[in-house]
Amino acid sequence: MVPSKANKDFLIAEAYAKVNLHLEVLGIRDDGYHELGMVMQSINLSDQLKMIKSEDNNITLKSNSSEISNGEDNLIIKAANLLRKNVGNTQLGVHIELKKNIPIGAGLAGGSADAAATLVGLNKLWKLNLEMVELEKLSKEIGSDIPFCISGGRQICFGRGEILEKLNFDQFDLGLVLVKDPSIQVSTPVAYRKYKEQYGHTYLEADKDFEMKRNILRLKNWSDKSLFDNRREIQNDLQKTVCPMAPEVEKSLKVLSGLPGSRLVSMSGSGPSCFALFKNYDDANNVLKEHVKDFERAGLSAWACSMKSNGVQLGNEFT
């Protein structure tokens, strides 16, 4: 539904997807969520949200995707409602148009990125002047990955994923080829539930053990050079559980491993999307172009991406 009275105030927010350069399940928390140790990385695959200030008090959403709901269960609407409630002004209105490019149910945090973009965008559009750290704090109420998607780049993420320690690098040169079988989605809650059934007996319990694992992650070198040259495996614990559930993951990893110049190969998040790292974007893009037929034959959608040093970006152009 288009708002009755939209004025000319609008902005565009770019919502970037992420991949996991590391995902380790440490244990289970009192709130039922898993205690994680992750390294997340923003990539230049993005959704675009156009936010048009509306003079009525409605929050409405329209999108180019038939796979997602435009209602109260969409994280975009949840984020807008949360922000409005938090500042105590339920009169604020907006109409949001979403151009969805990030595949859904893929382990790329597409929904979380959209919610992050909504918070950052509406903070500006509604002239709320909340600090980014306040938005991050607020956002974790509706999703564990949203705080990361707000500030993005490459960060170590602890807790449910919402406790962030930014890794500062000047260079984000690595490229990646990302693939996803369009015929399947993986439910994140199901992946975690099954992981717990299979590996719950290995979970750590003592705070000192959690902290030891966190320190191991902090001490590792997460620079591009180290990731590319050292040939250490990317750890994604959920891969062990999701692979047998979704044979498409095994297929994706096999295709990616066979690409010339590909280094580390892994599933992202709770899957089923998988990626291979390349020395830079051009290498990834050339390999993608040369192997289009292989991806088609395997029934995989494929993208060449670069890494981003930031999260949500505001602009004016809707491309």
Q: Which residues bind ligand C5P (CB under 6 A)?
A: 33-34, 36, 143-145, 160-161, 188-189, 192
Report the relative pairing of strands 163-166 and 154-158 from DSSP bridges: antiparallel
> Cβ closer to ligand C5P: 88 or 189?
189
Give the tokens for residue 240: 């062990």
Task: Give yes or no for a contact between 273 and 178, defined as CB atoms under 8 angstroms apart.
Answer: yes
Nearest 5°: the CA angle 73, 77, 79 is 110
Task: Give yes or no for a contact between 153 and 137, defined as CB atoms under 8 angstroms apart.
Answer: no
Given 114, 145, 224, 283, which residue is catalytic?
Answer: 145
Rounded to a whole number of angstroms, the minimum distance from the CB of residue 93 to ligand C5P is: 26
Q: Which residue pairs, CB below 8 angstroms and at least 24 apart, start in 297-302?
A: 298/251, 298/252, 298/255, 299/181, 299/182, 299/183, 300/179, 300/180, 300/181, 300/251, 300/252, 300/255, 301/103, 301/179, 301/180, 301/181, 301/182, 302/177, 302/178, 302/179
Rounded to a whole number of angstroms, the minimum distance from the CB of residue 137 to ligand C5P is: 15
56: annotated active-site residue = no
Tell me, what DSSP letter sits at residue 236?
Answer: B
> Cβ closer to ligand C5P: 36 or 304?
36
Rounded to a whole number of angstroms, the minimum distance from the CB of residue 31 to ligand C5P is: 9
Give the tokens for residue 125: 């559009």
Rounded to a whole number of angstroms, the minimum distance from the CB of residue 146 to ligand C5P is: 8
145: annotated active-site residue = yes
Rounded to a whole number of angstroms, the minimum distance from the CB of residue 33 to ligand C5P is: 4
> Cβ closer to ligand C5P: 160 or 213?
160
> Cβ closer to ligand C5P: 46 or 139?
139
> Cβ closer to ligand C5P: 128 or 142?
142
Strands (DSSP E) found in the chain? 6-28, 34-54, 59-63, 93-99, 154-158, 163-166, 175-180, 265-267, 274-278, 301-306, 313-315
Question: Which sequence positions are flagged as catalytic?
Answer: 18, 145
